[in-house]
């Protein structure tokens, strides 16, 4: 793949009067990459995407696509397509006319339009629906029309702004796979905005996690899950979210607030947070050398159960496999040091310290397999 679809942002900022939506961000997307802009609402991810598309003008900084500086170029000259959250289909035009809308704008000959339409309709499985109006289609089919419209333009770059958030859960997981498959088949460069961490984890080659207009972590889904750069990243990825426990100074090291009996980390870690994923905690009913706890309640999800466990003055989520009935029982918790994360008082990851291991010899409650456990 040529360098045509390389996207480079240099210190891009977007300000509206007093508010700064995007604050001095820079990143570089290599051709063929599937990049996710992930973050809570209002973090500036959509604004970033719209600046790349040219629908918003950057207040500061440069945007390059390929070798060209496109910062001040109109959207139509940037050589990219976009899928909108609302699909943005033209309600008075048939599916076919919607798909070829851009080709007509670009004065592509009629014959070629027909050929490309037939090919793309086949690709997204819409051949039987070409004469319908958008109102006569289901949500998933409308989504496909929107996809077809961006594919038919044959631009190497496709921007997607929360394209699946109007679909129901089951359809969403189908479309996730479909979009991912299309992307690798057509070798498109995709920048995909979402607030859904499941979409980010399952589709992205690379995830840019944003907060308050800044990129807080830039890495593969694997890195985001296993080595979150901050407490925010840790809590944003994974479902249920990572447990974050405030640490205070104890007798033999840092302890969980309200639970002074078991030191969990070196004294230096006090004042920060200990992070453990619900799936990385082992729960044993018998009292032992682990952190003493009490099961408050549980939530049965089918494949597994989330137990809510009181430790000191905090509540932890623990993922257990299968159906478990443990409410009201005292128990102890165990984990290994490679599965724990330490964050300093500012919420940044610190790798200079390791937690104390809390090993267990035998398992009384089976744990689910660690792989893929964050998927719904």
Task: Kindly state whether residue 266 participates in binding other proteins, applying the rule CB under 8 A.
Answer: no
Residue 95 C-beta: closest distance to other proteins, Å: 14
CB atoms within 10 A of CB 157: 25
Task: Kindly state whether residue 101 participates in binding other proteins, applying the rule CB under 8 A.
Answer: yes
Task: Kindly state whether residue 74 participates in binding other proteins, applying the rule CB under 8 A.
Answer: yes
Residue 55 C-beta: closest distance to other proteins, Å: 5
Distance of alpha carbon 10 from its chain centroid, rounded?
23
The piece of 102-110, 240-248, 276-284, 350-358 that touches other proteins (CB under 8 A) is 102-110
Helix, strand or coil for residue 150?
Answer: helix
Structure tokens at 36: 């996710």
The piece of 6-14, 80-88, 117-125, 290-298 that touches other proteins (CB under 8 A) is 80-88
User: Burial of 280 by CB count in 10 Å (0-12 exposed, 13-18 middle, 19+ buried)?
Assistant: buried
Which of 3, 40, 72, 90 touches other proteins by CB under 8 A? 90
Identity of the residue, 103 or 318, whose beta carbon is nearer to other proteins in the bound complex: 103
Say which residues have a Cβ less than 8 Å from residue 252's Cβ, sequence separation at least 6: 263
| CA 156 vs CA 148, 149, 164, 193: distances in Å | 14, 13, 21, 17
Beta bridge mates, 343: 273, 349
Residue 76 C-beta: closest distance to other proteins, Å: 3
Alpha helices in 90-237 (DSSP H): 95-99, 101-105, 110-123, 139-152, 169-186, 197-203, 221-226, 231-236
Which of 11, 92, 177, 363 touches other proteins by CB under 8 A? 92
Task: Kindly state whether residue 49 participates in binding other proteins, applying the rule CB under 8 A.
Answer: no
Residue 81 C-beta: closest distance to other proteins, Å: 6
**Binders of other proteins in range 136-165 (CB under 8 A):** 149, 153
Task: Kindly state whether residue 55 participates in binding other proteins, applying the rule CB under 8 A.
Answer: yes
Helix, strand or coil for residue 282?
Answer: strand
Task: Kindly state whether residue 372 participates in binding other proteins, applying the rule CB under 8 A.
Answer: no
Structure tokens at 66: 């390929």
Alpha helices in 15-80 (DSSP H): 45-53
**Binders of other proteins in range 111-140 (CB under 8 A):** 133, 135
Task: Kindly state whether residue 109 participates in binding other proteins, applying the rule CB under 8 A.
Answer: no
Structure tokens at 264: 């969990």
Residue 110 C-beta: closest distance to other proteins, Å: 16
Residue 20 C-beta: closest distance to other proteins, Å: 22
Rg for the chain, CA atoms, rounded = 24
Confirm if 77 and 15 have CB atoms less than 8 A apart: no
Task: Kindly state whether residue 76 participates in binding other proteins, applying the rule CB under 8 A.
Answer: yes
Instruction: Give dist(CA 371, CA 94) in Å, integer.
Output: 44
Tell me which residue of 160, 207, 209, 217 sits closest to 183, measured CA to CA.
Answer: 160
Q: Please give the order of strands across the beta sheet that includes 80-83.
A: 80-83, 157-161, 189-194, 34-38, 206-211, 214-219
Identity of the residue, 120 or 311, whose beta carbon is nearer to other proteins in the bound complex: 120
Task: State the number of binding residues for other proteins (CB under 8 A).
Answer: 25
The piece of 101-109, 180-188, 279-287, 358-366 that touches other proteins (CB under 8 A) is 101-109
Residue 133 C-beta: closest distance to other proteins, Å: 8
Structure tokens at 288: 């032992």
Identity of the residue, 133 or 212, whose beta carbon is nearer to other proteins in the bound complex: 133
Task: Kindly state whether residue 80 participates in binding other proteins, applying the rule CB under 8 A.
Answer: yes
Task: Kindly state whether residue 84 participates in binding other proteins, applying the rule CB under 8 A.
Answer: yes
Site residues for other proteins per CB under 8 A? 53-55, 74-77, 80-82, 84, 86, 88, 90-92, 101-102, 104-106, 133, 135, 149, 153
């Amino acid at each position: 793949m040529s360098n045509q679809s390389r996207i480079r942002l240099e210190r891009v900022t977007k300000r509206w009067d007093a508010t700064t939506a995007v604050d001095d961000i820079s990143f570089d997307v290599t051709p063929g990459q599937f990049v996710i802009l992930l973050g809570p609402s209002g973090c500036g991810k959509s604004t970033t995407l719209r600046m790349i598309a040219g629908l918003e003008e950057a207040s500061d900084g440069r945007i390059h696509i390929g070798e060209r500086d496109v910062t001040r170029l109109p959207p139509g000259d940037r050589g990219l397509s976009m899928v909108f959250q609302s699909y943005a289909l033209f309600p008075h035009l048939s599916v076919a006319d919607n798909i070829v809308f851009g080709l007509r704008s670009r004065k592509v000959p009629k014959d070629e339009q027909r050929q490309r339409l037939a090919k793309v309709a086949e690709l997204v499985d819409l051949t039987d629906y070409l004469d319908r109006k958008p109102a006569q289609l289901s949500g998933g089919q409308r989504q496909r029309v929107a996809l077809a419209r961006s594919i038919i333009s044959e631009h190497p770059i496709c921007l997607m702004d929360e394209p699946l958030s109007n679909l129901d859960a089951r359809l969403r997981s189908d479309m996730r796979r479909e979009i991912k498959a299309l992307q690798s088949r057509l070798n498109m460069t995709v920048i995909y905005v979402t607030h859904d961490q499941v979409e980010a984890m399952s589709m992205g080659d690379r995830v840019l996690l944003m907060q308050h207009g800044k990129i807080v972590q830039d890495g593969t889904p694997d890195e985001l899950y296993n080595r979150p750069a901050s407490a925010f990243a840790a809590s944003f990825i994974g479902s249920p979210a990572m447990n974050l426990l405030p640490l205070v100074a104890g007798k033999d090291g840092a302890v969980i607030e309200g639970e002074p009996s078991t030191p969990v980390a070196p004294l230096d870690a006090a004042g920060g947070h200990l992070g453990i994923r619900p799936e990385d905690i082992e729960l044993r009913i018998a009292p032992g050398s682990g952190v003493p706890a009490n099961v408050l309640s549980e939530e049965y999800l089918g494949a597994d159960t989330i137990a809510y466990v009181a430790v000191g003055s905090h509540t932890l989520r623990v993922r257990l496999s299968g159906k478990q009935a443990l409410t009201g029982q005292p128990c102890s918790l165990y984990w290994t040091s490679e599965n724990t994360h330490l964050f300093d008082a500012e919420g940044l990851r610190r790798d200079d310290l390791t937690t104390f291991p809390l090993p267990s010899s035998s398992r009384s409650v089976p744990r689910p397999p660690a792989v893929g456990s964050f998927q719904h």
